[in-house]
Every structure is written in C-alpha cells, then in structure tokens.
Amino acid sequence: MSGRPILTAERMRAAEQAAIDAGMPVETLMERAGAALAEATVRFGAPLPVLILCGPGNNGGDGYVAARHLADRGIRVRVAALGDPKSDAAKWARSKFNGEVEQLGAETGRAPILIDCLFGTGLKKALQPDLVEQLLRLSTDASVCIACDLPSGAESDSGELLNDVPGFGLTVTFGALKPAHRLMPAMNKCGRVVLADIGLAIDTAWREIGRPDLPPLDPAGHKYSRGLVHALAGKMPGAIALSTVAAARSGAGYVRVSTSRAIDGLPSAIVQTDTAILDDPRIGCILVGPGMGEIPQLLTLALTARAPKVIDADAIGQVGDAERLRGQDAILTPHSGEFVRLFGKLPGNKAEQALEAACRSGAVVVYKGPDTVVASPDGRIGFAPPAPAWLASAGTGDVLAGMIAALRARGLEAFEAACAAVWLHGRAAEIAGPHMIADDLAAAIPAALDLR
C-alpha cells in the first residue's frame, strides 16, 4: 500500500540518530526542518506578520531556524520564547537568529500567523495551565495557526491530548508522520498535515492509507474473473442490501445473496438465491454479518468455506474465540464496541490494539471509527486519512463491508483490499456530501473510484 510513512517518537528519534551517527549533524536536520516550516508558512499564510512560540528543546530550535528564514524573506517575524533553549542544537539555532526574542507571557502580543514550536515529540506531560492559556489566547485572534511537528499537548504515539490545544490549520512534520496525526482526538487538531523530507532514511510497515492502485480490468475477463461476492442475508435484509449494492458498485463482477425470503428493491443485477453453496470455487469473497441478527449458524456456515471472507457487524459478535478465524483468510471489521467485546481492552494506541487483534486472530482487522486503522498479522498497519464526520450514520458500515468484499473478490490481497476500501469509503462520503444516507454513499462509490 502506498502512503506516507508513520513512526512513533522513539522510532523517529532512532532514525534521526542513525543519520547523525552516519555523519549528518543534527543542526543540518534542524536547518532543513526549520526551512520547510518557513516555506509552508509562506505558502499557507502568505507574507503576513508571524509570531513563533519557541520551547526549550529542538521543537523550539526548528522555530528559531524558521524565524531566520522568514526574516530573510522580508516577513515581519517575532519570537516569544519559553525560557532559554536547553539543547545544543536549539542554542545553535537561537544564536543564528538575529531578531528580537521576547519572553512568552501575558504581555506577548498577537500576530496574524501563529506558529507553535513549543513542544513536539519530546512532550512529557501536560503544559502548565498558564502556558496553555497563552497558547489559546494567541491562537484565538490569529488567522492562521501552524503547528511544528505536533500541536503542543498532543501525545505523539497515542493521539491523546494532554492539555487543551487550539485547532491548527496546518501541521508541518518531518521525516514521517506520527500516529497522533492520524489518531483521535489529536488528528482533529492538526488540520492539514504536510510532511517535509529532511533526508532521513525511513523504513516502516506503518503507513497512512494512500490513494489505492487497483488492478486494471482484464479485457478478456468475465464476471467470475472480475470477482464473485457471495453474501449471506440474515434477519434484517436492508443491511445486506446496502452491502451487496456497494459490492456491485465497487466493481465485483457478480454479486449473489443467499436469503430465505426475497429482498425487495434490490437491483436485478444482484442475484438472489435461497441456497448457500459456499464451496463454489468461483466465489472470490464471502460476506457475512450485515443484518445477520442472532443466527450463529450463518457464521459457522461461512467458516466452513475456503474462500476469503469479510466478517462484519453481528457476525463479529458470534465469533466467540478469535482463534476460530485463524487460517480463514478473514477480514474483520469491528467498531469499538465489537472490538472490545471480542478482544477485550488491549494496551497501547488504537493501531497497536488492532495489530494485537490481527495477531491473535490471524485476520486482517479493520478497527473502525472516526480514526480507522487496518492491521495485518504480518505487522503492516494502514492509518486512514481523515474522513467526514457524517459517515457516522446507519448503514455506512454495511457499505464498507460490501466494498471490502468486492475488492477482495477482485483479487486484492486482504490487507490491500481493506485499505483500498477504507480510502474509497471516505472519498465516497465526501462526494455524497453532509446530508447523505448510506444509500447515497453506495451510489457515490463509482465517482470515488474515478478519483484514482
């Protein structure tokens, strides 16, 4: 899967140290970071006057470098410092900035552009209340607020907010994204996240889910080679109807649903049958769970089949022991309640919890929410980019399950199919707009596919 790399603070420091050990002075890294911050500020905020808040560490050091670059470009820039720089690199950066540096406090005057260089990946605890008060006050009247690496108060690895944090329009980060840029609640405070390459070698299996690269249609293909999705209907046919329509619109060549009674309103292209022959070798992916209700035998039936399968909604509640999924080539799509009921409260951030669940079950786990992460037992993690809040409505999970099943049936391996569907699901919601219902979301899938 393509997508921007994501590293925890510790792995970021290791990448930085490896570069330093290879002869790259930390000042060079800081110079590149600060220059990138200045460039992004000019592009995002135009040549308005700038106030940079500098902390005592290297986050502050980036700020002094950015101040120098902005001043060199003729932009009026002031620096308000939280004490003197403590790290050698920050002292170096401070010494190279010839402008005024005032002490950050209640008298610090506002500016149209505010850049937060107080704390980044070195944050250890919540900011002092009076500092939070100044940060919030100075951000209130700024027209543009920019965070250096992270909003100060955002915990880099968990995405928790250790203190009140203003909403930033832009976050400029270096080398790799951090989990906080793509996990709630910190994700909501970052605004647009720009990643600056500062010359670090980054190697990671954790990535932001990028635009998917789907296989082209085979001109010699037929409906089976384009992917047969076989869905198992349960007590509430409306949910499986949404899933099957979503699967068909996601490019499955043939969508079939086993149902004990005819489902009204389903497009004729979706074949309804009263049998469930799941050892049909032409099946590309089975879908069970949407609208299933309390019929555990449907999950048991699905688990007798060798075909890949998407286990969603009510079926997750019937799994019982995650070990049942080992060897099933399954994709599990829990929201937080379903996740905790099946796996319990796991340690670590949401991504690490999803990875642990993937390892315990052998399944690819799509841990849904306003921040969705996809984890594979082989260690890969995909973090979804921000998706519209209006996805929080009935039936959108059914649509996602159908999209995953279709892309799996089209031949993408499980992790890639799940990541691609999550990305397309978010874009389809943007296209459908804030008043959408799940049916509109399914209808917007072709337009989302055209975005690639």
Stretch that binds ligand LP7C6HRI, among 118-126, 223-231, 266-274, 381-389 (CB under 6 A): 118-126
Site string for ligand LP7C6HRI, 30-49 (x = CB under 6 A): x--x----------------
Asked if residue 185 has a cis previous peptide bond (ω within 30° of 0), the answer is yes
Q: Is the dihedral angle over the CA atoms 279, 403, 185, 171 positive or is it negative? A: positive
* Identity of the residue, 150 or 429, whose beta carbon is nearer to K ion in the bound complex: 150
Tell whether residue 383 is a contact of ligand LP7C6HRI (CB under 6 A).
Answer: no
Instruction: Tell me if 243 sits within 8 A of 231, measured CB to CB.
Output: yes
Select from ligand LP7C6HRI, K ion, none the partner in contact with residue 16, using the beta carbon and a kind-dependent cut-off of 5 to 8 Å: ligand LP7C6HRI
How many binding residues for ligand LP7C6HRI (CB under 6 A)?
28
Q: What distances in angstroms separate CA 447 from CA 44, 55, 442, 450, one per listed residue?
A: 29, 46, 10, 5
Number of H helices, E strands in the chain: 15, 17
| Chosen residue from 59, 158, 328, 349 binding ligand LP7C6HRI by CB under 6 A | 59
Residue ranges in contact with K ion by CB under 5 A: 116, 120, 147-148, 152
Instruction: Tell me if 330 sits within 8 A of 358, measured CB to CB.
Output: no
Binding-site residue set for AMP: 368-372, 397
C-alpha 428: how far from chain center = 16
Could you give the CA distance from residue 271 to residue 366 in angstroms, rounded to a whole number? 27
| Tokens at 352, concatenated | 């690490």
> E-assigned strands of 202-346?
206-208, 228-232, 254-258, 270-273, 283-288, 309-312, 330-333
Give the CB-side neighbour count of residue 98, counting CA atoms within 13 A: 3
**How near is the Cβ of 133 to ligand LP7C6HRI at its closest, in Å?**
14
Could you give the CA distance from residue 293 to residue 315 in angstroms, rounded to a whole number? 8
Stretch that binds ligand LP7C6HRI, among 114-122, 255-263, 299-307, 437-445 (CB under 6 A): 114-122
Tokens 């994700």 belong to residue: 187
Tell whether residue 53 is a contact of ligand LP7C6HRI (CB under 6 A).
Answer: no
* Identity of the residue, 119 or 339, whose beta carbon is nearer to ligand LP7C6HRI in the bound complex: 119
**Burial code of 48-85, b = ≥16 C-beta within 10 A, e = fewer?**
eebbbbbbbbbbbbbbbbbbbbbbeeebebbbbbbeeb
Tell whether residue 244 is a contact of ligand LP7C6HRI (CB under 6 A).
Answer: no
Could you give the CA distance from residue 128 to residue 402 in angstroms, rounded to a whole number? 48
Q: Which of residues 204-223 bind ligand LP7C6HRI (CB under 6 A)?
A: none
Q: Which of residues 14-33 bind ligand LP7C6HRI (CB under 6 A)?
A: 16, 29-30, 33
**How near is the Cβ of 170 to ligand LP7C6HRI at its closest, in Å?**
14
Stretch that binds ligand LP7C6HRI, among 97-105, 122-130, 164-172, 215-223 (CB under 6 A): 122-130
* Identity of the residue, 52 or 232, whose beta carbon is nearer to K ion in the bound complex: 52
Select from ligand LP7C6HRI, K ion, none the partner in contact with residue 175, using the beta carbon and a kind-dependent cut-off of 5 to 8 Å: ligand LP7C6HRI
Select from ligand LP7C6HRI, K ion, none the partner in contact with residue 153, using the beta carbon and a kind-dependent cut-off of 5 to 8 Å: none
| Chosen residue from 80, 145, 161, 200 binding ligand LP7C6HRI by CB under 6 A | 200
Tell me which residue of 234, 242, 179 sits closest to 208, measured CA to CA: 179
Stretch that binds ligand LP7C6HRI, among 50-58, 224-232, 330-338, 339-347 (CB under 6 A): 50-58
Could you give the CA distance from residue 71 to residue 64 in angstroms, rounded to a whole number? 11
| Chosen residue from 175, 212, 253, 290 binding ligand LP7C6HRI by CB under 6 A | 175
**How near is the Cβ of 322 to ligand LP7C6HRI at its closest, in Å?**
36
Binding-site residue set for K(+): 59, 116, 152
| Tokens at 315, concatenated | 């079926």
* Identity of the residue, 139 or 258, whose beta carbon is nearer to ligand LP7C6HRI in the bound complex: 139
Instruction: Tell me if 240 sits within 8 A of 265, measured CB to CB.
Output: no
Select from K ion, ligand LP7C6HRI, none the partner in contact with residue 116, using the beta carbon and a kind-dependent cut-off of 5 to 8 Å: K ion
Binding residues for ligand LP7C6HRI, rule: CB under 6 A, are 12, 16, 29-30, 33, 55-62, 87, 119-125, 127, 148-149, 174-175, 198, 200
